[in-house]
Amino acid sequence: MAERAAKQLELNKSELPNSITEVIATLTRAGFDAYIVGGGVRDTLLGLRPKDFDAVTDAKPHEIKDVFGKRCRIIGRRFQLAHVYSGRELIEVATFRGPPTSNANTNQDGMILRDNVWGDIKQDFARRDFSINALYYQPLKGVVHDFCGALDDIDNRIIRLLGHAPVRIEEDPVRLLRALRFKSQIGL
């Protein structure tokens, strides 16, 4: 795992919306690990304006609800998420995912039907779709965790599926469409 200082990557906490830093800070003060993950980190590194910022944490959905109270709503059957309201903004907060426990959560074609298996940051990384979406930014500590060379992929404009590509596409066929969208919208 590479851990890089956000300053080296020109990620500046002061440029983030207050909503995402407030959610990360609140979870951290409550004793949980919390990171900005996904497209918000990717787009910021590409010099683009992210449409939103998502958080990931080791807090389970009910613990996120306990921390944020009425500002939080748990959604989703296939994969539970917490929607946390910060002012007028909605921040999606996911719990670190772990490896699937059995084939009972997939259909006969291997597509994931239910995925509420919790894990740690490294297990969550292994479940991400593309390397460019698998960067974990902790703005309070000013560090970015890169478990797979995602920073190099961003620099080299490479879209790379994590894991065994045929299996990852079988799990969620929409990943192919996402790759095409990344290619056209953000020039990767």
Please confirm, yes or no, whether 129 is among the known catalytic residues. Answer: yes
In 3D, which of 63, 44, 65 has the Cα closest to residue 139?
44
Please confirm, yes or no, whether 109 is among the known catalytic residues. Answer: no
Contact 134, 150 (CB under 8 A): yes
Cα 27 to the chain's mean position, in Å? 15
Main-chain dihedrals φ then ψ at residue 183, nearest 5 degrees: -60, -45
Alpha carbon distance 53, 92 (integer Å): 8
Considering 58, 129, 146, 153, which one is annotated as catalytic? 129
Tokens of 132: 């460019």
Please confirm, yes or no, whether 115 is among the known catalytic residues. Answer: no
At 160, is the secondary structure helix, strand, or coil? Answer: coil
Considering 54, 124, 146, 153, which one is annotated as catalytic? 54
Active site residues: 52, 54, 129
